[in-house]
């Protein structure tokens, strides 16, 4: 515990990517847990509308070490929830250098500043959907071989190794959370990523959604509020460990389509298009280690989470 003004708080937490879809929910959850929060985001995909007014905001690109250092000097974070990243599988195939610059070099800037400025813990958002590649068995646990099929997955995994090195050599504590397919309010409905947001927006507008491939691709869909809660738990637990997050259940794209039709009242059928290069066909994650060590389990069912998402998009 420490004092800030007239109230007790738990930690000073810097949330990178905190104006983005998942990062803004993480910032909200940290504030809800009593932490003092600062957000770093370059607003390349994040939105000021997602920012919590109780958090400090710094518009900074994590590749800009000098600007980032000024944030560290001013805020003096005790912990970091690191979610800032380029995160589109298909874009990474076309722009692998950009993904290395932002996801690897940008993360190294954070690690170096954390080391120099005395930050004690980093919670790192990795990806369970992209680091493992095409699964050899399901559900995938943390011991599964790492065989990413795209530069996005490769860039996210590289940083996991650097985190281990910084703990061994500099005593910087960390927890890695490998995310499943995350959906919910604030997800961008206009990008290529986030099929739930894209389809919800199209269905509510009466437009015909596109289904890539057969639609039998399976993913582990997890509500964003559950993912945010895991980040808060990891601030104090899971030292030096890697955890999958997810439901342990694979849901096909066709099943999601059917559930969203029901939730939105949409009457049409989707149009099938060719499958996308670099995408895993089926992946879902064993999160039993997170349950054991972090006390984390998903609480929001897919049907309920989709209902909340549709309600959100009806209002915006």
Q: Which residues are catalytic?
A: 152
Place of tokens 């590289």: 158
Average pLDDT, the chain: 95
Q: Positive or negative, the Cα torsion across 20, 45, 131, 212?
A: positive
Contacts of 189 (CB under 8 A, 6+ apart): 197, 198, 200, 201, 202, 313
Q: Are 69 and 170 a contacting pair, CB within 8 Å?
A: no
Q: pLDDT tens across 242-295, in order?
A: 999 999 999 999 999 999 999 999 998 899 999 887 678 999 999 999 999 999
Q: pLDDT tens across 17-67, in order?
A: 999 999 999 999 999 999 999 999 999 999 999 999 999 999 999 999 999
Question: What CA–CA distance (Å, rounded) separates 221 from 243?
Answer: 16
Question: What CA–CA distance (Å, rounded) separates 40 from 277?
Answer: 32
Q: Which two tokens stand for residue 275?
A: 């499958």
**Burial class of residue 299 (count of CB atoms within 10 Å of its CB; 0-12, 13-18, 19+):** exposed
Q: What's the pLDDT score for residue 8?
A: 44
Q: Where are the beta strands (DSSP E) in the chain?
A: 2-4, 7-9, 12-16, 36-41, 56-59, 79-82, 121-127, 173-179, 181-183, 210-212, 218-219, 221-223, 241-244, 251-252, 271-273
The whole-angstrom distance between residue 110's C-alpha and the CA centroid of its chain comes to 17
* Phi, psi at 53, each rounded to 5°: -65, -15
Q: Which two tokens stand for residue 67?
A: 């600007």
Place of tokens 């990517």: 17
Q: pLDDT tens across 158-206, in order?
A: 999 999 999 999 999 999 999 999 999 999 998 766 899 999 999 999 9
Provide mean pLDDT across the span 129-153.
96
């Amino acid at each position: 515990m420490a004092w800030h003004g007239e109230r007790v708080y738990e930690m000073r937490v810097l949330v990178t990517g905190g104006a983005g879809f998942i990062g803004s929910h993480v910032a909200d959850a940290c504030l809800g847990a009593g932490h003092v929060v600062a957000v770093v985001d370059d607003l390349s995909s994040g939105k000021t509308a997602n920012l919590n007014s109780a958090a400090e905001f710094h518009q900074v690109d994590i590749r800009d070490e000098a600007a980032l250092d000024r944030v560290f000097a001013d805020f003096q974070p005790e912990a970091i929830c690191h979610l800032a990243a380029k995160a589109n599988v298909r874009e990474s195939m076309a722009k692998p250098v950009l993904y290395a610059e932002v996801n690897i070099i940008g993360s190294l800037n954070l690690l170096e500043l954390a080391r120099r400025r005395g930050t004690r813990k980093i919670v790192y958002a990795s990806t369970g959907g992209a680091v493992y590649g095409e699964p050899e068995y399901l559900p995938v646990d943390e011991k599964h071989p790492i065989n990413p099929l795209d530069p996005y997955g490769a860039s996210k995994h590289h940083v996991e190794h650097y985190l281990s090195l910084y703990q061994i050599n500099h005593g910087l504590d960390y927890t890695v959370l490998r995310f499943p397919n995350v959906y919910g309010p604030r997800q961008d409905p206009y990008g290529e990523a986030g099929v739930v947001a894209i389809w919800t927006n199209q269905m509510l507008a009466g437009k015909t959604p596109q289904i890539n491939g057969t639609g039998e691709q399976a993913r582990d869909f997890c509500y964003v509020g559950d993912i945010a809660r895991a980040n808060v738990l990891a601030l104090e637990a899971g030292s030096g460990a890697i955890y999958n997050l997810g439901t342990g259940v694979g849901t096909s794209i066709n099943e999601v389509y059917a559930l969203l039709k029901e939730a939105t009242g949409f009457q049409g059928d989707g149009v099938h298009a060719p499958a996308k290069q670099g995408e895993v066909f089926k992946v879902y994650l064993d999160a039993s280690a997170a349950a054991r060590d972090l006390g984390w389990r998903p609480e929001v069912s897919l049907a309920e989470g989709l209902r909340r998402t549709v309600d959100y998009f009806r209002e915006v």
